[in-house]
């Protein structure tokens, strides 16, 4: 791996969160799941959770995880989304800055060694997680439909993934 890309490389990659072995992470001492919203647990720019969103939260909670939405989305949308799922949230998280991750950990009363972040973008979610020192899981995008600037970033993500072989 190229040193300059180390903070862009997740510890793990998964296709769908609904198929992720959450119990493995719980058995390693992780207790808190921080979740990106758009294209991680729901379609891009969804206004409310769908069945998949509810399923992922249920699977995490059944595995013993406390959940918190950590999103760059505007506060009203992430607040209502999290409320509908019955979980905490941090809006305007500022990813790739780790500040939203730190805020979520403080809110959830956990340390980095107990925290895992699930997200679909290298340059926001994974970078924020790695900078905060939490376990980072890259989730393949929920849907191909994305806002134009995210589609643009996917090309550069592809290059990083090829160079770093993940």
Q: Is residue 37 within 8 Å of residue 125, measured between CB atoms?
A: no
Range of 57-66, 135-144, 154-163 with top mean pLDDT: 57-66
Q: pLDDT band at residue 6, thresholds of 50, 70 and 90?
A: confident
pLDDT exceeds cutoff 60 at 72:
yes
Which residues touch 34 (CB under 8 Å, ≥6 apart)?
Answer: 67, 68, 69, 70, 101, 104, 105, 115, 116, 117, 118, 129, 134
Q: Is residue 114 within 8 Å of residue 31, measured between CB atoms?
A: yes
Mean pLDDT on 82-102: 96
Would you state the pLDDT for residue 2? 52
Would you state the pLDDT for residue 159? 81
Mean pLDDT of the chain: 92
Q: pLDDT band at residue 166, thresholds of 50, 70 and 90?
A: confident
Q: What is the pLDDT of residues 76-85, one digit of tens each?
A: 889 999 999 9
Q: What is the pLDDT of residues 24-52, one digit of tens each?
A: 999 999 999 999 999 999 998 888 999 99
Task: Give dist(CA 151, CA 126) in Å, integer.
Answer: 17
Would you state the pLDDT for residue 151? 73
Would you state the pLDDT for residue 160? 76
Q: pLDDT band at residue 145, thresholds of 50, 70 and 90?
A: confident
Q: Which domains does the chain have, with CATH numbers?
A: 9-164 (3.40.50.1000)
Q: What is the pTM of this model?
A: 0.91
């Amino acid at each position: 791996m190229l040193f300059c890309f180390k903070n862009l490389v997740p510890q793990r990659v998964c296709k769908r969160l609904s198929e992720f072995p959450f119990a493995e992470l719980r058995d390693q001492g992780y207790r808190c799941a921080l979740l990106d919203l758009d294209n991680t647990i729901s379609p891009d720019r969804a206004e409310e959770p769908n069945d998949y969103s509810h399923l992922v939260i249920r699977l995490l909670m059944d595995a013993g995880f406390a959940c918190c939405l950590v999103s760059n989305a505007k506060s009203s949308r992430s607040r209502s989304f999290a409320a509908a799922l019955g979980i905490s949230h941090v809006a305007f998280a500022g990813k790739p800055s780790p500040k939203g991750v730190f805020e979520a950990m403080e809110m959830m009363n956990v340390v980095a060694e107990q925290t895992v972040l699930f997200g679909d973008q290298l340059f926001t979610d994974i970078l924020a997680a790695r900078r905060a020192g939490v376990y980072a899981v890259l989730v393949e995008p929920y849907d191909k439909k994305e806002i134009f600037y995210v589609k643009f970033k996917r090309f550069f993500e592809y290059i990083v993934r090829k160079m770093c072989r993940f």
